[in-house]
Amino acid sequence: MTENQINFVKMNGLGNEIIVADMRGRADRIQPRAALALADDPETSFDQIMALHTPNNSRADAFIHILNSDGSDAESCGNGTRCVVSWLQRELAKDAYLFETDGGIVEAWHQDDSSISVNMGIPRFDWEDIPLAEEFADTRTIELQVGPIDNPVLHTPSVTNIGNPHAVFWVEDDVWSYELDRFGPLLENHPIFPDRANITIARVTSDRTVTIRTWERGAGITSACGSGACATVVNAVRTGRTGRNVAVTTPGGDLQIEWRKDNSVLMSGPVEYEFAGMLDPQNGAWTKSAAAS
**Residue 204 neighbours by CB under 8 Å, 6+ apart:** 170, 210, 236, 241, 242
Amino acid at 134: E
CA distance 119 to 260: 10
Active-site residues, by number, are 77, 225
Q: Tell me which DSSP letter residue 73 carries.
A: E
The terminus-to-terminus CA distance of the chain in angstroms comes to 17
CA distance 109 to 119: 9
Q: Find, among 231, 227, 237, 239, the residue nearest to 140 by Cα.
A: 239
Buried b (16+ CB within 10 A) or exposed e, 157-188: bbbbbbbbbbbbbbbeeebeebebeebbbebb
